Amino acid sequence: MYTVLSTQPKSVQDTKKVLNILGAFIHAVSKRVEVSPQQYPQYRQKVVRFFYDRRKLFYIFNGKVTNPNLSRPFARALDEFPAARFYDDVVNNLGIIDLSPKNHPNRLVDTGDGRMSCYATQWLLLSALHPDHEVELEVADLLRKYLEPFYRHWRSSTDVLYQMKMLSRSKKNTPYWPGMNGILSKAFARLKDETDPFTEDNLYHILAQLIRLGCWVADVYRERYETITNYPEDYVTHVARDYIMGETGRFQSMLEDPFAETNIRARELLSQMNVSGNIDFLSMIVVSTFVRLDRAPSGRLIFMVYQWILQAATNTRVDDGTVLRIVKDRFDACWERNIDDVPIYWRPSGCPNEIGRVDDEPMPTNITNNNVPAPEGNTFNPIGLPLPEEVPVYPIGPRNDVMAISMPYELSPGQRDICVICQDEFEESGASCVKANGCRHLFHFACLDALANDRAYPSDGKVPCPICRASICDSRDYRGIAEDSD
């Protein structure tokens, strides 16, 4: 392990990836307790072979690393890594045959003040930092960062109904975010405590993370409205919200990442936030309200959310002037400007688009689908050429065969899943259930058929899954419908 971690040239990114590979390997070894003793040799061979499939390890065990590629020296060192011997060391040192609460490799141990640590992670790092290894100072500094206790966010059911009630009681027609107010009030109390090392810099990091969360929610809404505009607005809102809730791991990754820009004291307060409730509030109340003002979210949606969050943070009912001073000193000054004076597609610094679109270029035209045949003699645009703005399109050519892009799926007894397209439970509707090959999500046969065939997708020529955006199949060709000139 020391040989791998001391490989040249090294970088923070490569070291983090290697640690995550080794940590995932330990996690896989710990699953040994789930097989019978007679299967131990076969399982050992399977896990050792599994170790060298690094992409699979990244995919299954680590959501924080988006690019599993390593630099060539690190990749070569991992290829030469004695995984079989490492497997035996893990089994012997972690005591995973006789599991006990003290040394369960995946058990999170409370170290006080809500901070959590993982036995397996500590074992891995302390082994790498063993004095006999004489680890280089640069590598040792990186490894010690991982020994810092990390915080886990408060996992609780959404409190959006409570936040909505508080919003209705606020009476005044000004931006008001109850979930943020709770975090800010705790921050103000710590700022006034002279014995507490909490500083205004920590408060800035909290505000920056809340703004980043709001901008990310807005990005999801923009992307969803551009790709599934032939569905009712409530459905688009529901799909966007479900996608966002499914990605709360991003927030947890920020809390756990020892190299995160957000410092440890800010992460401590953020870990106490009801993430589900605040995402629901941003999705269902804030962003969806702005979207309803304009059926197709404009390029200024990010600015509208950014401005709203800062106005809510500097609300005189919440702020004693501290937040306003921080905002004026450290945030983009355009938050006080009129929306028409802000460049289109503007976004605050430190808030990159995390769902894949390049925002320094205009968004694709929001093309809708009326699902009607083209009037005879009144069509235009050869297939594949760009269409003018707001031109309705309809699919043409052969239909996609649902049986070729999915497989039949039989629900297990008691399994209660819903089709995300129609929102009906599979058992109640009586319709056949299929699993899409491209993403493994479940749909009704008829719903998947409608998704793949009843509309066109001119932007990239792929039919995306409404949940994860993975490609389900190629889109049918399309043709635009011209309005009557009369």
For the segment 330-357, the average pLDDT, to the nearest whole number, is: 70
Which of 101-115, 177-191, 315-329, 432-446 is least confident? 101-115
pLDDT above 70 (res 232): no
Q: Using 50, 70 and 90 to split pLDDT, how confident is the model at 206?
A: very high
CB 190 within 8 A of CB 198: yes
Q: Using 50, 70 and 90 to split pLDDT, how confident is the model at 262?
A: confident
Give the other-Cβ count within 10 Å of 297's Cβ. 23
At residue 33, what are phi and psi to the nearest 5 degrees? -70, -15
The per-residue b/e assignment along 427-462, b for 16 or more CB within 10 angstroms, e otherwise, is: eeeebebbebebbebbbbbbbbbbbbbebbbbeeeb
Residue with tokens 């606020």: 170
Per-residue confidence (pLDDT) for residue 369, from 0 to 100: 29
Per-residue confidence (pLDDT) for residue 207, from 0 to 100: 92
What domains lie within the chain, and their CATH numbers? 2-148 (no CATH), 160-341 (no CATH), 379-481 (3.30.40)
Which residue did the predictor score with more confidence, 457 or 179?
179
pLDDT above 60 (res 189): yes
For the segment 155-166, the average pLDDT, to the nearest whole number, is: 79
pLDDT above 80 (res 211): yes
Beta bridge partners of residue 474, listed in sequence order: 462
| 3-state SS assignment for residue 464 | strand
pLDDT above 50 (res 119): yes
Which residue did the predictor score with more confidence, 67 or 51?
51
What percent of the chain lies above the pLDDT cut of 70?
Answer: 55
Per-residue confidence (pLDDT) for residue 372, from 0 to 100: 30
pLDDT above 50 (res 66): no
Which of 149-153, 281-285, 362-366, 417-421 is least confident? 362-366
Per-residue confidence (pLDDT) for residue 238, from 0 to 100: 65
CB 411 within 8 A of CB 429: no
Per-residue confidence (pLDDT) for residue 203, from 0 to 100: 92
For the segment 383-409, the average pLDDT, to the nearest whole number, is: 63
Residue 50: HSE in the Cβ half-sphere, 13 Å Cα cutoff: 22
Express each pLDDT in 460-479 by its tens digit.
678 888 777 778 888 877 65
Distance CA 49, CA 82 (A): 11
CB 203 within 8 A of CB 326: yes
pLDDT above 80 (res 336): no
For the segment 412-433, the average pLDDT, to the nearest whole number, is: 70
Per-residue confidence (pLDDT) for residue 62, from 0 to 100: 40
Residues sharing a CB contact under 8 Å with residue 246, sequence separation 6 or more, in sequence order:
467
Residues sharing a CB contact under 8 Å with residue 268, sequence separation 6 or more, in sequence order:
113, 114, 115, 151
pLDDT above 70 (res 273): yes
Mean pLDDT score of the chain: 69
Residue with tokens 């009607």: 372
| 3-state SS assignment for residue 443 | strand
Express each pLDDT in 76-94 by its tens digit.
777 777 888 878 877 776 5
Q: Using 50, 70 and 90 to split pLDDT, how confident is the model at 20?
A: low
At residue 229, what are phi and psi to the nearest 5 degrees? -75, -5
For the segment 270-297, the average pLDDT, to the nearest whole number, is: 79
Which of 59-68, 148-157, 278-287, 290-299 is least confident? 59-68
Express each pLDDT in 376-394 by its tens digit.
333 333 223 333 344 455 5
Q: Going edge to edge, which strands form the sheet with 150-151? A: 108-112, 115-118, 150-151
Per-residue confidence (pLDDT) for residue 72, from 0 to 100: 73
Which of 220-234, 281-295, 435-449 is least confident? 220-234
Per-residue confidence (pLDDT) for residue 439, from 0 to 100: 81
For the segment 449-462, the average pLDDT, to the nearest whole number, is: 74
pLDDT above 80 (res 178): yes
For the segment 183-187, the average pLDDT, to the nearest whole number, is: 91
Which residue did the predictor score with more confidence, 48 or 336?
48
Per-residue confidence (pLDDT) for residue 251, from 0 to 100: 76
Which of 39-43, 361-365, 440-444 is least confident? 361-365
Q: Using 50, 70 and 90 to split pLDDT, how confident is the model at 451?
A: confident
| 3-state SS assignment for residue 311 | helix
What percent of the chain lies above the pLDDT cut of 90?
Answer: 3
